[in-house]
Amino acid sequence: MSLIHKLSYIALMCLAIISTAASLSPTLANSDAPTQLNYDVIRGGKVIGTHSLNFARNGSVLTVDIKTDVQVKIAFITAYRFIHRGSEVWENGRLMQYRSTTDDDGKDKHLTLQGNEGGYIVDSNADRYETKTISLPASLWHADTPKQTQLMNTLDGHVMNVTIQDMGMAPITARGQQINAHHYKMTGDLERELWYHEGQLVHLRFKGGDGSTIDYLLR
């Protein structure tokens, strides 16, 4: 959720179930992940922050570290800030752990998800519960995100219901060059436009709470 969370969740988040049914737990082949993804966060044509994902593999374990730093300034005064740190741990293709801490414009939030043989324990500012299945964290980087009907909010762990429409292929600029990417439109509890190229999220767009357009552009 990555500024994904206030300028829009004033409606919600910055960065699905990894399966197509809510009854299945997230799975992932380690080889599906890149090494690093870095994005500029842009509002009104100006860079207001960065969003990055770092992927590290150690045998059957894949760790994904997520960092978002956003500041909206008006007349040189910081009007809003969003600082998010998240970590996903996948073991033998299964999501086993998710942790995040967030400074949402002065409001501290945390989320811990721990997997075990029987399911998951979720603990956050908002709630604490146990569940046998879990939705994919809404970090949105995973190539199977467009297949999902639910996402896990990465600030407090609640489940978000979504509908995702395939918009077809479209030209887009990423890493300084024009490419054809697969465009999807997500509606429901989380509203996003997503573009993927060769399994990687290259562009993310959504409306901020003030009506401005926010873009995450891969660089």
Q: What is the pLDDT of residues 151-205, one digit of tens each?
A: 999 999 999 999 999 999 999 999 989 999 999 999 999 999 999 999 999 999 9
For residue 195, how many other CB atoms are within 10 A of its CB? 24
CA distance 4 to 160: 14
CA distance 30 to 13: 26
The dihedrals phi and psi of 198, each to the nearest 5 degrees, come to 50, 40
Q: What percent of the chain has pLDDT over 70?
A: 84
pLDDT of residue 41: 97
Point out the least confidently predicted range of 9-23, 30-44, 167-181, 198-212: 9-23
Residue type at 19 in one-letter notation: S
Q: How far apart are CA 42 and CA 98, in angstroms?
A: 27
Confidence (pTM): 0.83
CA gap 54, 151 in Å, rounded? 21
Q: Which among 180, 219, 204 has a CA at the least distance from the CA of 43?
A: 204
- The whole-angstrom separation of Cα 26 and Cα 20 is 10
pLDDT at 119 over 80: yes
Residue 139 sits at φ, ψ, to 5 deg, of -80, -15
Q: What is the DSSP letter of 147?
A: G
Q: Which two tokens stand for residue 138?
A: 């809404």
Asked whether the beta carbons of 192 and 186 are under 8 A apart, the reply is yes
Q: Is the pLDDT of residue 23 over 60?
A: no
